[in-house]
Chains A and B, each alone.
Chain A
Amino acid sequence: MNSKNKVLGFVNKYTMVIVLILVLIFFSIQTGGAILLPSNVSNLISQNAYVFVLATGMLLCILTGGNIDLSVGSVVCFVGAVGAKLLDSAHMNPVLTVIIMFIIGTLIGAWQAFWIAHVRIPPFIVTLSGMLIFRGLSNVVLNGMTVSLQNYTGFVKTFGGGANCYVPDFFGDNSINITCILASVIAIAVYVFLTVNNRRKRVKKQYEVESFGPWVGKLIVISAVIAIFGFRLAQHKGIPNVLLIVIGVIIIYSYITSNTTTGRYFYAVGGNEKATKLSGINTNKVYFLAYTNMGLLSALAGMITIARMTSAQPTYGQNYEMDAIASCFIGGASAYGGIGTVPGVIIGAILMGVINLGMFSMGVDQNMQKVVKGLVLLAAVIFDVVSKRGGKLLAKNT
């Protein structure tokens, strides 16, 4: 492989990471470094927690063949509304409320999944109807009013990203959060250990391994990112509680998609459904799982949303599905299904978050923000597609 191909290969593989870095540099210059202030880094997580969660679920739907779930925002709102009502009007135990919210979300997911998987109604139609149904029902449940959750600090603290929703510092009140520093050190140690161990195992069994230089480079860069990120959080108030939830979701779903047979089936169905069927795999079940799971994660996002807002309103969750879908496609998921990874989608979500935050810090007009976001989505995907085509802008007309 010559050096030009090598560079092209590298750019292809890490397109969105490179774009993310460029965008970060751009906003750092424009805002005089404000975007990288500790409080902003912390906010980035809290504000976008729901996107990370929903985009992960959306990835599974998209993997099955570019199918999307349009009902996500409405389901988030509905589950949140029911939860808020249960806490506020029925004075239900918060733990029980959380369980019920999860059950409701999963049932909604299963309801839509049934029509999609077993009756084979196109997902676009089923979830469009879900979007209307659950938006309407949210209004019914809330009577069009706002329910405040000011008094439910336990619930809000666990799921929220508000003022006091941080993991407490076990080492007293310092200007720098020691727990957070410690946690990032441990995270780096675990990451390095797992990566090195895996490589050693592969070398021992004489399997193919990445060449040493890039491998070490990647290891150092990722460790450095964790370190800087952890330090920034430590300078603010420490680890937001919601970050733990997000990390949990990322780890679980990364593992499922890359290491389990079930995860493999999502890629197989999206890659070639007929071949998958003829390999003895129940493809209906795969669709069913994807959309049921989307309901489950919508419920989680619902909790995060009402906790951050410390209230429930019938308008919450609007356009959340679009944030999730955009993150997936920016993060390299194929619109035809079968291609995409959880880490990729998370990069996509972070990119969207950074752009939001950056423009907010620059004081860009709300409406122009939307225009810019739309253009970025288009540009990102164009860049991805074109670089995969070897640099040619126009597709061949043959």
Chain B
Amino acid sequence: MAKVLLEMKNITKTFPGVKALDNVNLQVEEGEIHALVGENGAGKSTLMNVLSGIYPYGTYEGQIFYDGEECHFTNTKDSERKGIVIIHQELALVPYMTIGENMFLGNEQGSRYKINWNETYGKGNEYLRIVGLSESSRTLIKDIGVGKQQLVEIAKALAKNAKLLILDEPTSSLNESESRHLLDLMLKFKKEGMTSIIISHKLNEVSYVADKITVIRDGSTIETLVKGVDDFSEPRIIKGMVGREISDRFPKRTSHIGEVCMEVKNWNAYHPLYSERKIVDNVSFNVRKGEVLGISGLMGAGRTELAMSLFGKAYGENISGTLIKDGKVLNLNSVMDAIKNKIAYVTEDRKGNGLILSNAIKTNTTLANLKGVSKRGIIDRDEEYHVAVEYKDKLRTKCPTVEQNVGNLSGGNQQKVLLAKWMFADPDILILDEPTRGIDVGAKYEIYCIINQLVSEGKSVIMISSEMPELLGMCDRIYVMSEGKFVGELSGEEATQEKIMSMIIKGNDEVNVVNEDSKVLEGVE
């Protein structure tokens, strides 16, 4: 048996009013990849924050043994000195600095009074080669895609002489091939003796890469599964996470699909800054009443951009094409127009573009349709409260009162508030962009139920998602998008992951634009 590198014993961490961790135990052996899984809010990140010293010694109970000795970390510098490096879900890179500068930020090469730039960039390049990047370390961070930025984060950790690497949701913003590259990199490091802990929602990735899986639920360790000994299948892991078997991850619905209610013909949109770059390329499609329509594709395929350009030209320049709704040609020039014509776009970035975190649930719920609770510009605050409570009950949002700030809610409940906001605007067509990103299995199921409820009321839902099982489980019809074009259409029954992937790959070959470097995924304003 290998040596135990890290042992966390009986860790208990209390926040005012909540016990976030309750007697958690974790044992990681040298040279293994250990996965931590659990629903959102289960306490995974809290545990890692205890380990890395973000919550300093004394603010929690229990003991941490690392490399045979007990550790009292008071900040992240302490833990990094020992070789424990954590890479957070939100990337911590400065966009207008070079890769090299970022890599050695807080760990500068040379002396305090003179940074050794040759060393910085020389070493920088070495570490970049290790993680499989061919960029120069003098490239600015803003000029490389998210996938590569994630690799830079890992290179940065290596530059700190990491012995124990902790990755918090490393693939949440990566596409499939980038994710695969990252996971393979982890396996390569493992061979070289590195120990890693990975936190992830993507169970297929976890079972691919991990030697052991520790399941955390409601602040307690439930079990640790060992590769080769225990069952590593997704249903088995999910059972541990939610404490019950989800036999059906997608709720059943009987579709009542009506006539075509919206049609888009030859839709084009260009990048707002680089006006020669076509982001949406001659897209045509239709949506029927009561239908859940899926749009599949890799990140950067132009799905979000398509949706936002349809939504009152909220994205893009030189937009052309025809948008027909209920037999009428619409010319939507602002978000206000789109809402008036009963089209809603529910953003993928709920914190950045969707919700006002410092405001109450109540105010967020009515923001897109304040007219619905006001007369001649005067808000009826009782009515507003009433509406908020109604939607809270309808969507089963978990919160003490609707006066609570949205910022204090968990991801799943925030997503529900965001949905409530757009449901209250009473649209016919809802475009849901990654509606279940970053939320746990239980909350996902509830979101699916809400979608079913919406289409049963005769509304249409366009669902953009990077999770193929979700599209396959939910959609009546799926369009496949690649490099700004629609490259295929599949009915719900005939669609499989393999078919979609092959369409995307074939589409890529046809378009023959494999220039991933220039893909600025975050180009959406």
Pull 21 A–B residue pairs with CB atoms less than 8 Å apart, ordered by A. Answer: A5-B16, A201-B382, A205-B386, A259-B379, A260-B377, A260-B378, A260-B379, A261-B378, A264-B363, A267-B359, A268-B363, A274-B352, A275-B355, A276-B367, A278-B311, A279-B335, A279-B339, A279-B367, A281-B367, A390-B16, A398-B75
| Residues of chain B from 319 to 358 with CB closer than 8 A to chain A in the complex | 334-336, 338-339, 345, 347, 352-358
Task: Say whether A272 faces chain B, with CB atoms less than 8 Å apart.
Answer: yes
Return chain B residues, CB-CB under 8 Å to A279: 335, 339, 367-368, 421
Q: How far is the CA of A277 from the CA of B525 in the complex (A)?
A: 11
Alpha-carbon gap, A272 to B16, bound state (A): 27
Contact A208 B358 (CB under 8 A): no
Q: How far does the alpha carbon of A275 sit from the alpha carbon of B355 in the complex, in Å? A: 6
The minimal Cβ–Cβ distance linking A254 to chain B, given in whole angstroms, is: 13
Docked pose: A202 CA to B389 CA in angstroms? 14
Q: In the docked arrangement, what's the CA distance between A281 and B336, Å?
A: 7
Bin chain B's interface residue count: 35 or more
CB contacts under 8 Å to B, within A235-275, are 259-262, 264, 267-268, 271-272, 274-275
Question: Looking across the interface, which residue of chain B has its beta carbon closest to that of A277?
Answer: B335
Q: Is the CB of B54 within 8 A of A398?
A: yes
Q: Using Cβ atoms and an 8 Å threshold, which residues of chain B touch A202? A: 382
Given contacts A272-B356, A397-B75, contact A278 B363 (CB under 8 A): no
Q: Which residues of A contact B54 (CB under 8 A)?
A: 396, 398
Q: Answer whether residue A280 sits at the interface, using C-beta atoms and an 8 A cutoff.
A: yes
Question: Which one, A261, A275, A280, contacts B336 given CB within 8 A?
Answer: A280
Q: Does A153 contact B (CB under 8 A)?
A: no
B238-252 interface bits toward A, Cβ cutoff 8 Å, 1 = contact, 0 = none: 000000000000000
Task: Report if A262-B367 is in contact (Cβ < 8 Å); known contacts: A208-B403, A274-B353, A280-B338.
Answer: no
A207 in the interface (beta carbon within 8 A): yes
> Which bracket fits the contact residues of A?
20 to 34
The reply to whether A268 and B379 form a contact with Cβ atoms under 8 Å apart is no
Query: Number of contacts between A and B (CB, 8 Å)?
Result: 94
Of A274, A339, A398, which one neighbours B358 at CB under 8 angstroms? A339
Mask for B106-129, Cβ within 8 A of A = 1, else 0?
Answer: 000000000000000000000000
Q: Which residues of B contact A (CB under 8 A)?
A: 16, 54, 75-76, 311-312, 314, 334-336, 338-339, 345, 347, 352-359, 363, 367-368, 370-371, 374, 377-379, 381-382, 385-386, 401, 403, 421, 525
Write out the residue numbers on chain A whose beta carbons fall within 8 Å of the beta carbon of B314.
277-278
The answer to whether B367 touches A268 (Cβ under 8 A) is yes
Chain A residues numbered 172-220 whose CB sits less than 8 Å from any CB in chain B: 201-202, 205, 207-208
Our pick among B347, B354, B370, B385 for the contact of A207 (Cβ within 8 Å) is B385
Beta-carbon nearest neighbor of B383 in chain A: A205
Name the CB-closest residue of B to A265: B370
Q: Is the CB of B358 within 8 A of A338?
A: yes
Residue of A201, A271, A334 touching B357 (CB-CB under 8 A): A271
Q: Are B334 and A261 in contact (CB under 8 A)?
A: no
> Which residues of A are found within 8 Å of B356, using beta-carbon distances?
267-268, 271-272, 275-276, 338
Q: Min CB distance, A118 to chain B, in Å?
A: 15
- A282 is an interface residue with CB less than 8 A from chain B: yes
B16→A280 contact, CB < 8 A: no
When distances are taken between beta carbons in the complex, the residues of chain A under 8 Å from B371 are 261
Give, as a whole number of angstroms, the nearest-CB distance from B130 to chain A.
27
Residue contact A278 to B353, C-beta cutoff 8 Å: yes
Contacts of A259 in B (CB 8 A): 378-379, 381
The interface residues of chain A lying within 8 Å CB-to-CB of B355 are: 272, 275
Residues of B within 8 A of A282 (CB): 334, 336
Q: Would you give the shortest CB distance from B362 to chain A, in whole angstroms?
A: 11
* Most-contacted residue by chain B among A267, A275, A276, A396 (CB, 10 A): A275
- Please measure, in the bound complex, the distance between the C-alpha atom of A135 and the C-alpha atom of B345, giving whole angstroms: 48
**Chain B, residue nearest A263 (CB):** B379
- With A278-B347, A279-B335 known as contacts, the answer to whether A262 contacts B377 (CB < 8 A) is yes
Q: Would you list the 9 A-B pairs with minimal beta carbon distance, nearest first?
A: A271-B356, A279-B368, A280-B336, A280-B335, A280-B339, A272-B356, A261-B370, A274-B353, A279-B367
> Complex Cα distance A268/B360, Å?
11
